Structure 1
Amino acid sequence: MMRCLVACLICAATPLWAEEPLDGAAFEARVTGKTLTFQVQGQSYGAEQYLPGRRVIWAFDGGPCHAGHWFEPDPGRICFRYDHDPGDLQCWAFFDDGGQLRARFEGALPQDDLIEARRSPVPLACPGPDVGV
């Protein structure tokens, strides 16, 4: 009886299926040619324009634009490197969440996931002297 109770508790604590992140090809197909705006916990966070050749332009909400690129060093692990800070590597797992992207920073908790708030074909607006980075 005790073994059955322990087995039931383990099953209840384990999801029936593991959430699988998008691989690089699926991510690329979803984002290339688009600008995505992200929120975290209902607050505006930033936007990223995804260009051909895995190039990107990122801006925190109200911040300057930063050019960079992304790559997939391991299946389901999408990493970004930005030209203004080439030593800083930022890796994420992207999930399909009912047609929207959800992004989890490596080592972060699910409640801190970035949620796609808007998708547009319009390029990211980059005002100031670095227009067109």
Structure 2
Amino acid sequence: MIKRSVILALMAMTAPALAEMTADEFETYTEGKTLFFSLNGQDYGVERYRENRQVEWSFLDGECTPGVWYEQDGFICFAYEGWDVPQCWSFEQTPQGLIARFANASPGSPPASYLAYEKDEEMVCFGPDTGV
């Protein structure tokens, strides 16, 4: 039993840590995709990634907000039309999708990990501002 515990502890120490994605890696992974974002297994948003770092975000309410993403200080930041503050994240690639961690969290709040993943659903946008 002790031997097994020592082996598991050594394996954990030598297992490679997930590395944060660079902007180039993020762009290669996301361009042309639509990713759903979930927290604790509950979807709350969806984002479509276009060419030239253009994005479109929705809180799954049919209202879609265009924006752009860019790299700043090692984070992937999103600036959306009508939002005052850019949203900055770190991303790590896993077999399930991307693990996203919000960089702008309030001081003292625990860091939450979000899952951004592909699923067999379309992004729905309603209203006059959706374009063609």
- The answer, yes or no, to whether TM exceeds 0.5 is yes
2:76 corresponds in structure 1 to: 78
Verify the 8 A CA contact 1:34 1:121 in the aligned structure 2.
Answer: no
Cα deviation, residue 56, structure 1: 0.3
Cα deviation, residue 118, structure 1: 2.2
Cα deviation, residue 121, structure 1: 9.8
* SS of residue paired to 2:29: helix
1:94 and 2:81 aligned? no
Residue type of the alignment partner of 1:54: R
1:103 and 2:93 aligned? no
Return the TM-score normalized by structure 2. Answer: 0.76
What is the rounded CA distance, in whole Å, between the counterparts of 2:130 and 2:68 in structure 1?
Answer: 17
What is the rounded CA distance, in whole Å, between the counterparts of 2:64 and 2:52 in structure 1?
Answer: 18
Change (3 A) 1:54 1:119: farther
2:116 corresponds in structure 1 to: 116
What is the rounded CA distance, in whole Å, between the counterparts of 2:86 and 2:41 in structure 1?
Answer: 26
1:34 corresponds in structure 2 to: 33
2:130 corresponds in structure 1 to: 131
Cα deviation, residue 74, structure 1: 2.3
Cα deviation, residue 102, structure 1: 1.1
Change (3 A) 1:19 1:31: same
Q: Give the gaps of 5 or more residues in structure 1.
A: 1-10
Cα deviation, residue 44, structure 1: 1.0
* SS of residue paired to 1:131: coil
Comparing both structures, which one devotes a greater share of its residues to strand?
Answer: 1
Q: Give the gaps of 5 or more residues in structure 2.
A: 1-8
- Count of residues in correspondence between the two structures: 118
What is the rounded CA distance, in whole Å, between the counterparts of 2:118 and 2:95 in structure 1?
Answer: 14
Identity %: 37
User: Which segment is superposed worse, 89-98 or 101-110?
Assistant: 101-110
Residue type of the alignment partner of 2:78: F
2:61 corresponds in structure 1 to: 62
1:3 corresponds in structure 2 to: none
Return the TM-score normalized by structure 1. Answer: 0.75
CA-to-aligned-CA distance 1:101-130 (integer Å, 9 cap, x gap)? 1111014645x22212425696x3211121
Cα deviation, residue 97, structure 1: 1.6
Cα deviation, residue 96, structure 1: 0.8
